[in-house]
Amino acid sequence: MLHVDIPSIAAIRELADIQSPGCVSIYVPTGTTRDDAAQARIELKNARDEAVAILKDTELERGRLGLITDALDDLIDDENFWSYQARSLAVFVDGDHLTSFRLPNELSSRVDVSDRFLLKPLLRTVTFAQTAFVLALSQNAARLVEIVPDTAAETITVPDLPTDAASHVGKSSIKDRAPVRRLQGSEGQKVRLRQYARGVDQALRPLLTGSGIPLILASTQPLDGIYRSVNSYSGLAPQSIEGNPDELSDQQLAEAARPILDEIYAGQVQAFNDRFATFTSQGRAITDLSDIARAATAGAVDVIAFDIDAVVNGTVDEQGAITVEDTDTADNYGVVDEIIRRAVRADAGVLAVRAADLPAQTPAAALLRYTL
């Protein structure tokens, strides 16, 4: 099982709020095997050395440089941490804090040193990671299957997850005819199934809450509808995997979940583009990067969609004016990255997409809260 800890939007917003000299962002591919993890540790050491060399050139105060180095060394030396990895590792350190996330995406190696963190690669994971949980739910069994890109699906252990409906409600069978508050037969069965579904939902809350990971239900009626009626997780997909989940392997569930994940992503993109068309007639949809930069600085962006591969070297000043540069340096943190950071700080929605999914051939498109 991959050990994934995808950041919440709130966690990304906290990182976006940090702006001070010596912000180091490191992205390292980690793979899924022990040998991969060993190689990743070496790569993180090299990234540390590269970051320290850049920081020395910026004349960062020695004490702060020492704190950054110590924090990275502690992470590199943490044997337990390296025993549990996903496909990529993102590390953010500034001398006051070190925050790391183990991600299901295969991200390229990168070291960035600036007065703010590089968050754009992280946002693809948050908005659409091709990662999901499948809840295989029947009267006879409940299991949670984790799906991550390019890796075999696997059932994961969930503390206090009910094993079946009958044992959860303390019966030998939910089909017995003993009354449940004067309810018998099919009505009594539905009451017991609802209790069972509520127990499953409660067991999943600690794992799912705040994760943003889609939950796909594999069940049959009436349990499918009953679970949806008590579900408390906003990330439950509207589509279900059909058929008896007890007869499907973890990998078969994963294969059935992929089209549903694709539909979720396509729905997000289509919803944005539909809103973009509506907002255009109201003067509240923009694609020019300079306009988006000013709107993000003013806190006027409601939702921003951006090309995950777009790179525009340069800076954005305090009023939102863009200066484009030819090279990437510690003082030149990337225009698109900074626009996104400002949008996130102002609680804007963020959608990381491919270029073909944007409504125009620009690095980003934004919907505004009001006209500027």
> For 120-171, what is each residue's pLDDT tens digit?
888 877 766 578 999 999 999 999 998 877 677 889 999 999 999 988 877 7
Q: What is the C-alpha R_g of the chain? A: 24
Question: Rounded distance, CA 293 to CA 273, Å?
Answer: 20
**Tens-place pLDDT, residues 34-54:** 788 899 999 999 999 999 999
Question: Rounded distance, CA 311 to CA 324, Å?
Answer: 11
Q: Which residues of the chain have pLDDT under 50?
A: 1, 179-180
Q: Strand, helix or coil at 6?
A: coil
Kind of pairing between the strands at 285-286 and 236-241: unpaired
On the CB side of 4, how many CA atoms lie within 13 Å of its CA? 27
Question: Rounded distance, CA 309 to CA 9, Å?
Answer: 20
Question: Rounded distance, CA 299 to CA 286, Å?
Answer: 14
Name the phi and psi angles at 95, rounded to 5.
100, -25
Residue whose entry in the numeric block shows the structure tokens 């990895």: 85
**Per-residue pLDDT, 101:** 92
Give the tokens for residue 15. Answer: 């990182």
Q: Which residues make beta-bridge pairs with 89?
A: 28, 102
For the whole prediction, is pTM greater than 0.95?
no
**Per-residue pLDDT, 12:** 87
**Per-residue pLDDT, 1:** 47
Give the tokens for residue 343. Answer: 């949008």
**Per-residue pLDDT, 252:** 96
Give the tokens for residue 55. Answer: 């920081």
Q: Strand, helix or coil at 332?
A: strand
Beta strands in the chain (DSSP E): 23-29, 88-93, 98-103, 110-114, 132-137, 142-147, 154-156, 215-218, 236-241, 285-286, 301-307, 314-316, 322-324, 349-353, 364-368
Question: Rounded distance, CA 197 to CA 199, Å?
Answer: 5
